[in-house]
Amino acid sequence: MKATTSAIVRKHDLVVDHEDWTAILEPALCQDSAAVECLARLLFTIKKAIETGPDGVAQASRALSVGIESTYLYTDAHKAAQKLYLLSLTGELKPQDEPLQLINEAIKRSAIEGERGKRKAHRKRTVAH
């Protein structure tokens, strides 16, 4: 009897395991077998690209980035951003609630936190040596 892929690959070797895929696919996609087939073909294409080496890895990474950007249009975050944008068009938002103001402030806070985390990690490495 052949061993299944899940038996061969240990969980800690996976970025996403079978349980993760099931949790993602079951709610909606599994109701549409054509969509699941499309996803399987897309994943296979990305896998083949990765297996070709560094250029394929770069292509796969770019493909995944495009996929991430494309899926954004179907998220609750996009719907909320669209509502905020429409409110902005009315001219009735406070300046601090304007979409670009909110987004840029969040990006700025994230960058500051990221920089703090890098400095903290650097100090830990320096102290350890």
Domain ranges of the chain: 15-74, 76-129
Tokens matching residue 52 = 């070709």
Residue 113's pLDDT is 86
Residues 6+ apart with CB under 8 A from 102: 84, 96
Assess contact for 101 and 95: CB atoms under 8 A.
yes
The per-residue pLDDT of the chain, averaged, comes to 86
Q: Strands, DSSP E only, in the chain? A: none
Tokens matching residue 105 = 């402030």
pLDDT one-digit tens code per residue, 91-118: 999 999 999 999 999 999 999 988 877 7
pLDDT one-digit tens code per residue, 38-66: 999 999 999 999 999 999 999 999 999 99
Of 8-17, 78-87, 113-122, least confident by mean pLDDT is 8-17
Residue 2's pLDDT is 41
Give the Cα separation of 8 and 31 in Å (integer): 29
